[in-house]
């Protein structure tokens, strides 16, 4: 087995990616969950997304949630935005770490944001300039990186070409989304090989779903290939509202349990995380 890292960074995405695929819950409950997660020792949290309420009604109260949340020192909070208007709202709210999504699959991208992948990449180039001009960092998340519910397999070379473009346009980091859980260890290996052959130094983060029960196997494969940053969602909350069958993200507590058992630190208190997972279960 390849040498394992001493530390892995987990970004908790339950408050955003998790809750956006559940029935809308009250603002008070969202704030309680976000605050509980902030006390677990997790160092990164995706807190909200600034999207049009007609598109994602579960995030309609993003401004209020963020205003009321207790910001814990040492935790890096980020927000997801779909466009310039969302980016302006995120910047006005005080976020300095902002994510934007594009799909490797043209069909999924049209279902998600009503435009082709290339059109979204043109928009993202302008967004990166806007964010950098405001002193914020830009992360580009490439959805359907391991497969698409509409188009099937996605060629790793296509994903690598998207990475080429966003790196050239100034992205600070790149994340790969397994939008419907089509990822397998073989697909993880193929994708990372294709991307690193062309962009060896860009920071990478992987986001796995557990639709087919492969999330932990995929995480282990990525660890063996040197990846040390992952998304996970408390209680396995979430999916994707524009991808049929996209049930369940990798559960944070399962990932942390496995990593700690392997002697890999995450900085997260597993008992506190399990309490947050129990809170999430009762909220939804």
Q: Which of 36, 128, 140, 240 is catalytic?
A: 240
DSSP string, 117-136: HHHHHHHHHHHHHHHHHTT-
Query: How many CB atoms lie under 10 A from the CB of residue 94?
Result: 12
Nearest to 240 by CA among 179, 161, 178, 193: 179
| Least confidently predicted of 20-24, 36-40, 92-96, 268-272 | 20-24
Q: Does residue 218 contact residue 210 with C-beta atoms inside 8 Å?
A: no
CATH of 9-283, one of 3.10.580.10, 1.10.10.10, 3.40.50.1860, 3.20.20.70: 3.20.20.70
Residue pLDDT, tens place only, 53-70: 988 899 999 999 999 999
pLDDT at position 113 is 86
Q: Does residue 124 contact residue 100 with C-beta atoms inside 8 Å?
A: yes
> In the predicted model, what is the mean pLDDT of residues 80-101?
96
Query: Count of alpha carbons within 13 Å of 254, Cβ hemisphere only?
Result: 21
Would the pLDDT of 282 be above 90? Answer: no
Would the pLDDT of 11 be above 70? Answer: yes
> In the predicted model, what is the mean pLDDT of residues 20-43?
94
Q: Is 240 a catalytic residue?
A: yes
Helix (H) or strand (E) holding 161: helix 156-168
Question: b/e map of 155-177 (b: 16 or more CB within 10 Å)?
Answer: ebebbbebbebbbebebbbbbbb
pLDDT at position 2 is 74
Residue partners of 167: CB distance under 8 A and separation at least 6: 174, 199, 202
pLDDT at position 283 is 79
Q: What is the largest CA-CA distance in the chain?
A: 48
Query: How many CB atoms lie under 10 A from the CB of residue 152?
Result: 9
Residue pLDDT, tens place only, 133-167: 999 999 999 999 999 999 999 999 999 999 999 99
Report domain extents, the chain: 9-283
Nearest to 271 by CA among 283, 284, 282, 260: 260
Task: Quickly tell me which residue has 């029935």 as its tokens.
Answer: 23
């Amino acid at each position: 087995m390849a040498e394992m890292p001493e530390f892995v960074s987990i970004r908790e995405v339950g408050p955003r990616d998790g809750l956006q695929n559940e029935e809308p819950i009250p603002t008070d409950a969202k704030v309680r969950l976000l605050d509980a997660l902030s006390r677990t020792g997790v160092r990164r949290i995706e807190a909200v997304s600034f999207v049009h309420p007609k598109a994602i009604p579960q995030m309609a109260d993003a401004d209020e949630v963020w205003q009321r949340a207790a910001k814990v020192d040492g935790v890096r909070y980020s927000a997801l935005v779909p466009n310039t208007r969302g980016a302006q709202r995120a910047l006005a709210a005080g976020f300095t770490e902002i994510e934007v999504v594009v799909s490797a699959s043209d069909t999924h991208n049209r279902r998600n944001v009503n435009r082709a992948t290339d059109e979204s990449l043109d928009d993202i180039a302008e967004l990166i300039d806007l964010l950098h001009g405001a002193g914020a960092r830009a992360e580009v998340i490439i959805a359907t990186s391991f497969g698409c519910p509409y188009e099937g397999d996605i060629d790793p070379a296509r994903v690598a070409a998207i990475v080429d473009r966003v790196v050239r346009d100034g992205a600070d980091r790149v994340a790969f989304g397994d939008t419907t859980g089509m990822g397998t260890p073989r697909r993880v290996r193929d994708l990372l090989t294709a991307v690193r052959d062309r962009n060896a130094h860009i920071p990478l983060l992987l986001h796995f779903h557990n639709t087919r029960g492969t999330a932990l196997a995929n995480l282990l494969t990525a660890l063996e290939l040197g990846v040390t940053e992952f998304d996970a969602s408390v209680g396995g909350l979430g999916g994707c509202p524009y991808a049929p069958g996209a049930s369940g993200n990798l559960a944070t507590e399962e990932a942390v349990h496995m990593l700690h058992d392997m002697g890999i630190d995450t900085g997260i208190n597993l008992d506190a995380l399990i309490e947050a997972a129990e809170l999430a279960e009762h909220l939804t």
